[in-house]
Structure 1
Amino acid sequence: MAKLNLVGDIGGTNSRFGLVAQGSVEITRIERLKNDEFGSLEDVARAYLDRQGIDELAAAAIAVAGIVMEEDFLLTNRDWIISRPKLKGRLRTERLIILNDFEALALSLPHLKEVNLVQIGGAALPPRRLKIVLGPGTGLGMAALAPLPQGGWMALPGELGHVNLPVATREEFDLREAMTEPGTVFESEFAVTGGGLLLIYRTITRLAGRPARLSTPEQVLQAALNGSDRDAVKTLDHFITWLARLAGDAAMMMQAQGGVYLAGGIAPSIVKKLQEGSFRRVFEEKGRLDLNAVPLYVIMDDFPAFKGCAAALNQPPL
């Protein structure tokens, strides 16, 4: 029996794994494990393989949230040290690729099915143009995907979450100022993330002299979507405006004629608001140049990073 490839998507709370045949991007036997129950990435990955009855692998590709280094490095939201030699030994494989999570998402883009994408405006352009993927979750990640002349793709991880929050109106400026700690630079991911939703909401209620009735990002999002809290509704409006402006800025900087893709857990949950509101208009507004033709998609696939990991294993080394 042919050996299988392992794909993994490692977050701060959960580790997700699946298996894929060599040369394929169709993932099987997907399972989610709680990181608190394990002491290291090697432990949780080996536990998954043991549960699947897998002794040895053909290869493995693991996506992690954080900056990937060649030497040992620490996960961003987990005190696990990633060591390639140790991980290869526990997985019993000679080939291991470790990717940034948005690098894996970028590599997934050519392999996503139409049924798992919701398009919000733009034209249908030739597929082999530069694409970008970004998305708010715990942080605000981004990567670009560039076509190579000889075929295939190159993923280019970025750090969109650490640029300044783009404000354009007096109301936005005042709100950003009220959210900013003295002596700090207000980064985009302080607002355009799950935690950012809560910060915006608390600041809006404080400025209005009202108590903050909601205490979690999930509560703020739900109240905004059902219209039960006016401050939550205003919070989501600001959140969407800033997400649109950041997506437009990134598309303009990279000339992403192949499309902009929104990933993560928040975008799919607000897809109707993105379709119906001002999101597309704000995304396109860039002065002398515009982004009218650039297609924008929301990724609805539950595990797109797995496809990117599989694609990385299928590509020849650059």
Structure 2
Amino acid sequence: MTNVALVGDIGGTNSRFGVLELGSMDVRDVEVLKNDNFEGLEAAISAYVTKHGITELAAAAVDVAAPVDREHITLTNRAWTFSAESLRKAAHARRFRLLNDYEALAWSLPHLAAADLVQLGGEAHSEPLMKVVLGPGTGLGMAGLAPLPGGGWMPVPGEMGHVTLPIVTAEELALKDKIMGKDQFSEVEDVLTGPGLFALYTAIAGTPKLHTPEAVMKAGLARTDSAAVKTLDHFMTFLTRLAGDAAMALQARGGVYLAGGIAPSLADQLKAPKYRAVFEQKGRLSEVMRHIPLYVITDPFPAFKGCAAALNAK
């Protein structure tokens, strides 16, 4: 009887798959499939298992960029609708687990090696302590990971992208008013996402010379456009302030981890002391924050480790 399991990380643009032996974290046969080439997630899974000659799996775990607390799930950024059972059948798996994408990232945290991370201050801890992972992409995801009294871990899904944008300065308030309008509510995802990055750039530039979030990121990192440079500075300030808010709210002494497609590109810039200072800036409790580590996840497939951990925890 096979002991092989499938792991999958599904976004709006790409579906990433690999296989491993149950009980292991060593993923092999990794492939990235373009979602435009398939009518649905079942078809993408079928294509992968067929290519690799898989006719039976002991288990499968797939994470998706969507809420999974319902029978029929639709991806947030693609019109694919499916159920856990339809995916299990497509994978030919005896056991199946469907996860939210940030739930999977939370599961991965204890299994990330030092080489998978860039540490931005604080003190790493070996004992099990509360952890948080969050990150900007098309949206902003977030989850906690709580240690259980008898050993093991429990993911705690969250919705940090829809809390109030953490504005401190008059300049930040003026930028918010340009983006959302005066006296209007502004949530984190209005700024801390790919589209939000471009909205922030447009507010700063007035007449923008760049026309995509990718162009703003590239110009800001290369320092070839002053408005793009200022945009990245504000973006990183909001991101580290939000990370500090998450750390304080959950007392995440085990660390805050920045994930997603944008954060790794900013890892070197985030090493600047000013951003660590923003993370720690919590008034009378700033001393508590000084000890909390902040990380950027640089592993290209961290969710695979999370899917594997979730399967191994069953």
TM-score of the two chains, using structure 2 as the length reference: 0.96
Separation (CA, whole Å) in 1 of partners of 2:12 and 2:185: 25
Q: After the TM superposition, which parts of structure 1 deviate over 6 Å for at least 4 consecutive aligned residues?
A: none
| 1:125 matched to 2:125 | yes
Q: How many equivalent pairs are there?
A: 312
| 1:84 corresponding residue in structure 2 | 84
Amino acid at match of 1:131: K
Pairing 1:205-224 to 2, within 5 Å after superposition: 205-206=205-206, 211-224=207-220
Deviation, 1:184, is 5.8
| 2:226 corresponding residue in structure 1 | 230
| 2:282 corresponding residue in structure 1 | 286
Contact 1:3 1:56 in 2 (8 A): no
Check 1:174–1:183 CA distance in 2 against 1; reply closer, same or farther (3 A cut): closer
| 1:243 matched to 2:232 | no
Deviation, 1:127, is 3.2
RMSD: 1.3
CA deviations on 1:4-63 (whole Å, 9 max, x unpaired) are: 100000000110000010111111100011111111111101101111111111100001
How much identity, in percent, do the aligned residues show? 55
| 1:136 corresponding residue in structure 2 | 136
Give SS of 2:307's match: helix
CA deviations on 1:87-143 (whole Å, 9 max, x unpaired) are: 222221221111110100010011111111111100132430000011111111110
Pairing 1:170-181 to 2, within 5 Å after superposition: 170-180=170-180
Separation (CA, whole Å) in 2 of partners of 1:185 and 1:81: 32
Check 1:184–1:107 CA distance in 2 against 1; reply closer, same or farther (3 A cut): same
Separation (CA, whole Å) in 1 of partners of 2:34 and 2:59: 23
| 2:271 corresponding residue in structure 1 | 275
Pairing 1:1-318 to 2, within 5 Å after superposition: 2-180=2-180, 185-206=185-206, 211-290=207-286, 291-316=289-314
Separation (CA, whole Å) in 2 of partners of 1:240 and 1:185: 21
Deviation, 1:169, is 0.6
TM-score of the two chains, using structure 1 as the length reference: 0.95
Deviation, 1:183, is 8.7
Separation (CA, whole Å) in 2 of partners of 1:158 and 1:269: 24
Separation (CA, whole Å) in 2 of partners of 1:194 and 1:114: 27
Amino acid at match of 2:312: N
Q: Give ranges in structure 1 of 5+ residues lacking alignment.
A: none
Amino acid at match of 2:99: L
Give SS of 1:231's match: helix
